[in-house]
Amino acid sequence: MLEQLNEALEHIERHLDQTVEAAELARIAATSEYHFRRMFSALSGMPLSEYIRRRRLTIAGAEVLEGKRTLLDIAVRYGYGSGEGFARAFRAVHGVGPGEARRDGASLNSQQRISFRLTVEGSGNMRYRTVERDEFFVVGKKARIPLVHLGMNPAIVEHIRGIGQDELRRIEALSDQEPAGIIAVTDNADDSREEGTELDYYHGVVAGKAGPDDLDSLRVPAGTWAVFESSGPMPHSIQYLWRDVYTEWFPSNPYQSRPGPQLLRTVLSEDGEHADAELWIAVERTGA
């Protein structure tokens, strides 16, 4: 799979002065666009669109300093409809405008080309299982929150505090399927999974039917789920688990992620410093 991902990266390089479609990159990588975007973000540490933008403006920066083309010609060549739009994007990456860079010979930033390589690390195993599930519902309280990659998410903490213990017990009583009890569910996230983008967060349970009208219910279609286990310090072990699933497990197994919510069941130690967790991710088999 890494070879195919690198072929997709070569396609980006050959088409920096053209429109680069994520669907075409996914086709080259022999995976879905949904999975390709998440794989790229997890492996590279940045959204696909940001990488393409930074590579494009790196090459454009070299042409600005070279001085053979007008700034407007360079702007149009790299997909900007106006000199003003090009100047804003150029300054965001390089810290100076293109006119200033050409006039003063300014130092520019360079987004290096990314390539993916297999690295053998340690001898640890990732514990997982796959589960076939009929349609079910997530029932609880929903909030729209920003994505936080590392550390506690203040928006989640505030949302949970606002529910109240009596309401939590009422919601928990509706749990009748695995994963049992109160769980955290994320859905409707931005494809880039860039920090600060928003997603839907449900604090609720898995049930066989929709909940009462005063609770939020999310219908989840039937399908296959991969269930991963982790145990370690809270919250970093859980956040690292999500990263490891995309950087280690998916490249090594004949599955790809599919659209669907992510379910997280967490059991905290008495001091709240340690967590045993199950992470459920919607998957489908690939052709491998």
Q: Average pLDDT over the chain, rounded to whole?
A: 90
What is the pLDDT confidence band of residue 287, given thresholds at 50, 70 and 90? Answer: low
Place of tokens 């297999």: 118
Do the beta carbons of residue 200 and residue 256 sit within 8 Å? no
Q: Is 261 helix (H, G, I), strand (E, B) or coil?
A: coil
Q: What domains are there in the chain, each with its CATH number?
A: 2-104 (1.10.10.60), 128-285 (3.20.80.10)
C-alpha 17 chain-centroid distance: 26
| pLDDT tens string 28-56 | 999 999 999 988 988 888 889 999 999 99
| pLDDT tens string 76-88 | 999 998 999 999 9
Rounded CA-CA distance 123/234 in Å is 23
Residue 121 predicted with pLDDT over 80? no
Rounded CA-CA distance 111/130 in Å is 38
Residues 6+ apart with CB under 8 A from 169: none
- Any idea what DSSP says for residue 234? T
| pLDDT tens string 239-248 | 788 888 888 8
Candidates 75, 70, 109, 67; CA nearest to 92 is 109
Rounded CA-CA distance 163/216 in Å is 13
Q: How many helices (H) and strands (E) does the chain have?
A: 11, 9
Q: Is 249 helix (H, G, I), strand (E, B) or coil?
A: helix
Six token digits for residue 124: 């640890």
C-alpha 106 chain-centroid distance: 34
Output the pLDDT for position 212: 97
Output the pLDDT for position 155: 94
